[in-house]
Amino acid sequence: MSKESLLPLLARHVLAHGLGQASLRPLAKAAGTSDRMLIYHFGTKEALLADLLGFVAGTYAQALDAALGGERAGTRGQALARILAHAQSEAMQPFMALWWEIVAGAARGLTGFALAAQAIMSELLGWLETQMPERDPDPRGGARYLLALIEGTLMLDAVGHGETAREGLLASGLSPA
Amino acid sequence: MSKESLLPLLARHVLAHGLGQASLRPLAKAAGTSDRMLIYHFGTKEALLADLLGFVAGTYAQALDAALGGERAGTRGQALARILAHAQSEAMQPFMALWWEIVAGAARGLTGFALAAQAIMSELLGWLETQMPERDPDPRGGARYLLALIEGTLMLDAVGHGETAREGLLASGLSPA
DNA sequence: GACGTCTTGTAGCAAGTGCTACGATTAGCT
DNA sequence: AGCTAATCGTAGCACTTGCTACAAGACGTC
């Protein structure tokens, strides 16, 4: 079992159970090894977590490319709707739960978390920029504006204020009225 | 030492060190008691956490009222700037770090976390509604729109994408150009 | 003073934590 | 074949976790 072949299994466990419960022995069982081997491969739990978060960020990038093909949106509102539908889909729910744990770690200054979070946000921002309407007057600023709005919406979703977010988007003038 | 007199001390410790490291013995030491007493008063760590998060939510409500007095903003942009300045202030930094942990817990479905998060968001939303400009065409929707934008901005701040958020706000048309 | 309830200290338990020591197996290279 | 280095299993260590058992003081009520 190589390091690389372990990462997907570890990620699966973390997506399902969260980072808080991610201790070596359960992780090892989920990956079909022993804690001894995890330490052997990664050296330290901290290093394991850093590698794991990097892997998750990479997986997210792939999922984004796969799910949201290339053609440009007609309006900012369409780009917004498209990405919200993706993030709110059933399949992305485990990732979203993990995402807020990554944000919390980044806010506490944990380096591995901050790096993964920045990578994921950069990925999403890059995708948003390619999605901006063809003759948008300010694609760069617009993409960043949408990014803030999207993340705020997803956060409100996560804490049970989804309806609040929906009304906010309606009032933003972006939604297809 | 009553339950109520313990809560501020416990909150201080959690704000400084985070929820992840919040185990009974360190908490007890920070509050000047023993783990035995914490269990005696709260019954369970889970119950302690729920009480503690409720207390933090209440404290946040007070801080909001105290720091951001009553007079209405002239424009949506002013309301936005005002609350962002508050949330990004040095004094609020420990609370913001704790906030993302609360969000992460809520996203994982932990009841105490979800309740506290909803209370805090409702408080902020209520305050935003009182701050909307006098002749705003849609104060209800506008407040919700601002809420999403604010939380997205704060999240990007937390993960080191503060500059991204700033550019997004500039492109929103809300900032005093 | 007697009684029962509330409060608190000291010890400790069973389980889980990250990590290490040591030995056995395997693989690759000469 | 013989040697070296990578890979892995078994035990275990020192420590922390949430929580409990047991007993002693504090305190108001009769």
Q: Quote the Cα angle for B51-A154-B167, to 5°.
A: 115
Q: Does residue B177 carry a pLDDT above 60?
A: no
Contacts of A94 (CB under 8 A, 6+ apart): A15, A16
d(CA A155, CA A167): 14
In this prediction, what percent of chain A has a pLDDT beyond 70? 97
pLDDT at res. B65? 85
Q: Mean pLDDT over residues B139-166, rounded?
A: 97
Domain count, chain A: 1
Mean pLDDT of chain B: 93
Condensed to tens digits (0 to 9), the pLDDT of residues A16-73 reads 999 988 999 999 999 999 999 999 999 999 999 999 999 999 999 999 888 877 678 8
Q: Is the pLDDT of residue B68 over 80?
A: no
Q: Which of B159, B163, B164, B166 is the best residue to mutate to test the A interface, defined by the most A CB atoms within 10 Å of its own CB?
A: B159
Calculate how close chain A gets to B170, using CA atoms only, in Å. 7
Reported as a pLDDT band with limits 50, 70 and 90, residue B143 is: very high
For residue A10 the two structure tokens come to: 């570890």
pLDDT of amino acid A177: 47
Q: φ and ψ at A39, to 5 degrees? A: -65, -40
A36 assigned to some structural domain: yes
pLDDT at residue A4, as a whole number: 85
Mean pLDDT, chain A, rounded, equals 93
CB–CB contact B159 A96 (8 Å): no
In whole angstroms, give the CA distance from residue B87 to residue A46.
30
pLDDT for res B84 = 95
Task: Count Cβ atoms below 10 Å from residue B162 Cβ, excluding itself.
Answer: 14
Which positions in chain A touch B145 (Cβ < 8 Å)?
A: 168-169, 171-172
Residue B67's Cβ-count burial label (10 Å; 0-12, 13-18, 19+) is middle
pLDDT at A175 over 90: no
Residue A29 Cβ < 7 Å to strand C:
no
C-alpha distance from residue B60 to each of A6, A65, B117 (Å): 43, 40, 11
A62 within some domain: yes
**Is 50 exceeded by the pLDDT of residue A13?**
yes
Torsional sign, CA A39, A98, A77, B120: negative
Q: Tell if the CB–CB gap between B146 and A140 is shorter than 8 Å.
A: no
CA B58 to chain centroid, in Å, comes to 10
Which residue did the predictor score with more confidence, B176 or B24?
Answer: B24
- Within a domain: residue B85? yes
CA distance A69 to chain B (A): 24
CA of A112 to C1' of D12 (A): 31
Residue of B146, B167, B169, B170 to mutate, testing the A interface (most A Cβ within 10 Å of its Cβ): B167
What pLDDT is attached to residue B176?
A: 62
Task: Please tell me the pTM assigned to this model.
Answer: 0.94
- Residue A164's pLDDT is 97
Instruction: Tell me the mean pLDDT in the region B54-75.
Output: 87
Residue A177 is assigned to a structural domain of this protein:
no
B23 touches strand D (CB under 7 A): yes
Query: What confidence category does residue B102 fall into, taking pLDDT thresholds of 50, 70 and 90?
Result: very high
Report the CATH number that the domain containing residue B10 is assigned in CATH: 1.10.357.10
Assess whether pLDDT exceeds 90 at residue B46: yes
Is A92 a domain residue? yes
User: In this structure, is residue B51 part of a structural domain?
Assistant: yes
Instruction: Residue A6: name the closest of A35, A64, A95, A18 by CA.
Output: A35
pLDDT of the residue at B35:
93
CB of B44 within 7 Å of some strand D atom: yes
CA B35 to chain A, closest CA, distance in angstroms equals: 21
Is 60 exceeded by the pLDDT of residue A2?
Answer: yes
- Choose from B96, B118, B145 for mutation: most chain A CBs within 10 A: B145
> Across the interface, do A142 and B100 touch by the CB < 8 Å criterion?
no
Cα distance between residue B68 and residue B57, in whole Å: 16
Is B177 among the domain residues?
no
User: Residue B39, CB, less than 7 Å from strand D?
Assistant: yes
- The whole-number pLDDT of residue A94 equals 96
Helix (H) or strand (E) holding A159: none
Closest CA to A170 of B76, B136, B148: B148
Closest CA to B77 of B154, B7, B145: B145
Specify if A96 maps to a domain: yes
Q: Give the structural domain span for B139.
A: 3-172
The pLDDT score that the predictor gives to residue A21 is 85
